[in-house]
Amino acid sequence: MNKIVYFDVQNYEKEFLKKHNEGKYDYHLESNSLNNLASLKEEYKDAKVISVFTTSRVSNKVLAQFPKLELIALRSVGFNHIDIDYCSERGIVVENTPNYGNKSVAEFAIALLLDVCRKVTFSYTEYKEAHVKATALIGNELGDKTIGIVGLGAIGSEFAKLAHGFDMKILGFDFSQKQELIENYNVKYTDFDTLLSKSDFISLHAPLTKENKHMFNENAFAKMKKTAIIINTARGELIDTQALFNALTRKEIAGAGLDVLESEEAISDPDYLADIGKLDECALKQTVLNNRLLQLPNVIITPHIAYNTHEAINRILKTTMSNINSFFDGVVNNNVN
């Protein structure tokens, strides 16, 4: 019987996975993440399939512990947490779960934008502390403002449709253009620098690549409006954390709504918290900055939950099992390498 190990398993996933694996696979449900900090159980090392979420960090050192591995079934769209080159060299197939959270993430990005613009969390905190001062709680409307969308794939397109519903002017930056967005939602594609300088708000929906890491750096923030707000529900590494912190504290931009951070695993992963010495110098610096960002009144940070709806979770699990079943039937779906 083929062995599958599911890592990062939450309690709400267990019933589904048990139902669809019982009697069919030699399966194991592991709540811990897969990374080079935690020791791997000996019984897992002969697995043919591993399934992980974005909280795992699957390096070549981790992969080397699975000599019989044939498939990595991702329970996510993104795959920057996997050593794809290593997998390709050794014939390990990597499959993702596309389109599971398009609406969920787009709606959450709008929620973050509204929260920062209308100071929802800030006013709630102030009210609890009986520090209500109306002038400090003045917000901004979305209507008739310009939103710049970086990345107009499935999620970015959904975000554009929502922004159109708020009567926003929409600028888009992407390497390919969608005629539907131009014709039906008045999206105007432009270059990156124009988007930076003209946008009142910017929302990130691009996948992380080697080319766009830290695309929002000191130079980018210097070109943005001082009243601009940046929203990131994509990948933390798209933004240089130091540059963002500087831009916010120097009032070069007005605020940020972040569901993702650089080195975000250092905040929540117990393997890192158990031994902080395992963090490298860069991760330690980013972690300090992340905690400083949490203290700023014009910043909202959430723990990578934009995808986290009942509907999206159900789609993730269904697609994951479909990918695995098809793989053992000799069909590769949603291959990313």
Query: Which residues are the active-site residues?
Result: 235, 264, 304
Tell me the two tokens of residue 326.
């098809």
**In the chain, % of residues over pLDDT 90:** 85
Q: How confident is the model at residue 313 (pLDDT cuts 50, 70, 90)?
A: very high
d(CA 308, CA 289): 25
The answer to whether residue 52 scores a pLDDT higher than 60 is yes
The answer to whether residue 274 scores a pLDDT higher than 60 is no
- pLDDT tens sequence across 169-185: 999 999 999 999 999 99
- pLDDT tens sequence across 68-97: 999 999 999 889 899 999 999 999 999 999
The answer to whether residue 327 scores a pLDDT higher than 90 is yes
| CB within 8 Å of 233: residues ≥ 6 apart | 105, 108, 109, 112, 155, 203, 204, 205, 259, 260, 306
Mean pLDDT of the chain: 94
Rounded to whole angstroms, what are the CA distances from 24 to 70, 269, 273, 334?
Answer: 17, 31, 37, 22
Average pLDDT over residues 200-221: 96
Q: Which residues of 206-219 are buried (b: 16+ CB within 10 A; e: fewer)?
A: bebeeebebbbeee
Quick check: helix, strand or coil at residue 325? helix
The answer to whether residue 37 scores a pLDDT higher than 80 is no
Number of H helices, E strands in the chain: 14, 12
For the chain, residues classed under CATH 3.40.50.720 are: 3-100+310-328, 102-301
Listed as own residue / partner, the contacts of 33-39 with beta carbons closer than 8 Å and 24 or more positions apart are: 33/7, 33/8, 33/57, 33/265, 33/269, 33/271, 34/7, 34/8, 34/58, 34/62, 35/59, 35/62, 35/265, 35/269, 35/271, 36/61, 36/62, 37/269, 37/271, 37/272, 37/275, 37/278, 38/271
The answer to whether residue 280 scores a pLDDT higher than 90 is no
The answer to whether residue 273 scores a pLDDT higher than 60 is no
The answer to whether residue 272 scores a pLDDT higher than 70 is no
224 Rama class: left (phi>0) / alpha (psi -120 to 50) / beta:
beta
The yes/no answer on whether domain 102-301 falls in CATH 3.40.50.720 is yes
pLDDT at 204: 98
The hierarchical CATH code for the domain 3-100+310-328 is 3.40.50.720
CB neighbour class for 28 (10 Å; exposed up to 12, middle 13-18, buried from 19): middle
Q: Which residues of 268-307 are buried (b: 16+ CB within 10 A; e: fewer)?
A: ebebbeeeeeebeeebeebbebbeebeeeebbbbbebebb
pTM: 0.87
